[in-house]
């Protein structure tokens, strides 16, 4: 009887051990699969961007289709392809929808693209108010091209109140970051400026720079 009990106990222990091992193997396998899927997702985006940059638009289009639900980079690429007719039929109205989706997820390139489209009238009519709004959003996130565009709109009073000091401050900020366009435009638009006005531009540039730094830090914290 003791021998039979001992055998039963041994078999039970062995069964539990095998079950535990199988459970561990299952969990490890699941983790590996999830990691592989995650890596594959990033690889697809990278591959799509590489194909796009090399003008292999058909390949880029195939790669990004499965990523459009959540990936802002894929959404931006789709928008840019539709905007310019790269590998697909040109369709600005569809392009803007993808840019808006990507912009809502924080994609700065899409914000700038929206500003350009509204400013140039690619949607049949120009809308300076919308253009200025989108340029402001991307400029505040550190996009140099948007800073130049916003600065010029503020100096010219397009899409909102004319503000030469803040407009020049945006140009000065972009110039500081190495933009040749900003440098040329700043020199032209700051001619004849008084010492007090130049000091105001300098102070405003410092404020803008601090605000941009804070926004970038906040965004990085949100991503983490």
Kindly state whether residues 63 and 21 are assigned to the same domain. Answer: yes
Kindly state whether residues 81 and 118 are assigned to the same domain. Answer: no
Burial 75-113 (b: 16+ CB within 10 A, else e): bbbbbbbbbeebbbeeebebbbebbebbbeeebbbbbbb
Q: What dihedral angle (degrees, nearest 10) is formed by the CA atoms of 97, 133, 120, 173? A: -120
Can you give the pLDDT at residue 6? 53
Is residue 181 scored above 90 in pLDDT?
yes
**Of 60, 88, 105, which one is at a domain's C-terminal end?**
105
Kindly state whether residues 223 and 182 are assigned to the same domain. Answer: yes
How close are the terminal C-alpha atoms of the chain, in Å? Answer: 62
Q: What percent of the chain has pLDDT over 90?
A: 71
Cα distances from 176 to residues 11, 162, 209, in angstroms, run 76, 23, 11
Kindly state whether residues 46 and 79 are assigned to the same domain. Answer: yes
What does the alpha-carbon distance between residue 130 and residue 149 come to, in Å, rounded to a whole number?
Answer: 13
Can you give the pLDDT at residue 17? 52
Mean pLDDT of 9-23: 55
Is residue 174 scored above 60 in pLDDT?
yes
Can you give the pLDDT at residue 26? 46
- Name the domain count of the chain: 2
Kindly state whether residues 164 and 211 are assigned to the same domain. Answer: yes
Kindly state whether residues 88 and 116 are assigned to the same domain. Answer: no
Token pair recorded at residue 159? 């899409």
**Of 105, 139, 169, which one is at a domain's C-terminal end?**
105
pLDDT one-digit tens code per residue, 85-112? 999 999 999 999 999 999 999 999 999 9
Residue 7 lies in a domain: no
Tokens 């894929």 appear where? 74
Mean pLDDT of 113-130: 95
Cα distances from 63 to residues 13, 40, 109, in angstroms, run 50, 11, 20
Token pair recorded at residue 10? 């041994």
pLDDT one-digit tens code per residue, 192-223? 999 999 999 999 999 999 989 766 545 544 44
Q: Which domain CATH number covers 159?
A: 1.25.40.10
Mean pLDDT of 159-185: 97
Can you give the pLDDT at residue 213? 76
Residue 25 lies in a domain: yes
Domain that holds residue 199: 108-224
Kindly state whether residues 84 and 155 are assigned to the same domain. Answer: no
Kindly state whether residues 88 and 137 are assigned to the same domain. Answer: no
Instruction: Report pTM.
Output: 0.76
**Of 59, 82, 105, which one is at a domain's C-terminal end?**
105
Q: Quick one: which of 25, 16, 21, 67 has its CA closest to 46?
A: 67
């Amino acid at each position: 009887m003791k021998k039979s009990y001992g055998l039963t106990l041994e078999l039970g222990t062995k069964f539990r051990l095998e079950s535990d091992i199988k459970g561990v193997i299952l969990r490890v396998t699941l983790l590996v699969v999830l990691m592989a899927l995650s890596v594959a997702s990033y690889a697809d985006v990278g591959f799509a961007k590489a194909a796009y940059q090399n003008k292999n638009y058909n390949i880029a289009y195939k790669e990004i289709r499965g990523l459009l639900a959540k990936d802002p980079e894929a959404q931006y690429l789709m928008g840019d392809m539709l905007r310019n007719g790269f590998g697909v039929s040109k369709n600005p109205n569809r392009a803007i929808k993808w840019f808006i989706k990507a912009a809502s997820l924080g994609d700065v390139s899409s914000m700038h693209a929206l500003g350009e489209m509204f400013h140039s009238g690619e949607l049949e009519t120009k809308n300076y108010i919308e253009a200025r709004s989108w340029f402001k959003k991307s400029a505040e996130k550190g996009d140099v091209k948007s800073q130049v565009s916003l600065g010029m709109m503020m100096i010219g009073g397009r899409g909102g109140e004319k503000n030469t000091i803040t407009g020049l401050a945006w140009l000065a900020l972009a110039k500081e970051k190495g933009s040749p366009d900003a440098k040329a435009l700043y020199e032209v638009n700051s001619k004849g400026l008084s010492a007090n006005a130049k000091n105001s531009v300098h102070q405003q540039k410092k404020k803008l720079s601090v605000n941009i730094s804070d926004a970038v830090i906040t965004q990085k914290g949100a991503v983490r």
